[in-house]
Amino acid sequence: MTVLDPRSPATAPGPHIRTFHPRRGRIGAARADALARLWPRWGYDIDPAGTAFDAEALFGRVAPLVLEIGCGMGEATAAMAANDPGRDYLAADVHTPGLANLLALAEREGLGNVRAARGDAVELLRDLMKPDSLDAVHVFFPDPWPKARHHKRRIIRPDVVALIRERLRLGGVLHCATDWAPYADDMIRVLRSDPGLRDLHAGFAPRPPHRPVTKFERRALAAGRGIFDLVFERR
């Protein structure tokens, strides 16, 4: 295992609690073709025992890096990357069909600043990424794990937030969004309790125009659920 900062409490060894449900999904012919052709160039398999993540090698340039944790089918990631060509976007997910769809979108739109990482984003952050290496981290609509006994699996919890903060540069931004009101309240409590983060909006943020509306969000709105954005900066 690569040890990036042994003095850091966030990177100290300890039990790893999964923050996601493993999902199965069929990959259609077009996505399977995109995956076979593009993964060798634009894909990255998260291996905690592997070498440290090298953004310059993966993207072919040096640029500010945005990590998207949980990209779904990739539509929002592709749209943000298209409108933000000066930064690189790395989408981490365990759902191979979604990553395949993202790569297909990136190829179709000619997006050279999009790459896909397959596996556990917490392992990527903890074992493979260097401190101060990220310009922003996006966590949009993560699993709320609504049952109390499953709250320990939420990705926005103190130990993971401390890890994300360490990987952000000074002034880097952690942007979260959820449609689950109890989780939103827990998120803001956890984020405000981290001494290295500053709330940029003194509460829930107005909906940022750069975050595209996804199919998931439209379904949430149609069901009458509110959308909560939280934007915090590393200080």
Mean pLDDT of the region 17-25: 55
Give the per-residue pLDDT at 30: 85
Averaged pLDDT, 32-54: 95
Hey, where are the domains in the chain?
A: 29-234
DSSP string of 186-224?
HHHHHHHH-TTEEESSSSSBPPPTTSPPPHHHHHHHHTT
pLDDT band with cut points at 50, 70 and 90 for residue 9: very low
Q: What is the pLDDT of residue 115?
A: 98
Q: What are phi and psi of 131, to 5 degrees?
A: -60, 150
Confidence class for position 147, pLDDT limits 50, 70, 90: confident
Active site residues: 143
For β-strands 114-118 and 88-93, DSSP reports them as parallel
pTM of the model: 0.88
CA distance 125 to 67: 10
> 29-234 maps to which CATH number?
3.40.50.150
Who contacts 181 (Cβ-Cβ below 8 Å, separation ≥6)? 225, 226, 228
Stretch among 51-55, 113-117, 137-141, 210-214 having the lowest mean pLDDT: 210-214
Q: Where in the chain does DSSP place strands (E)?
A: 43-45, 65-69, 88-93, 114-118, 134-140, 168-178, 197-199, 228-234
pLDDT tens-place string over residues 148-203: 775 788 999 999 999 999 999 999 999 999 999 999 999 999 999 999 999 999 99
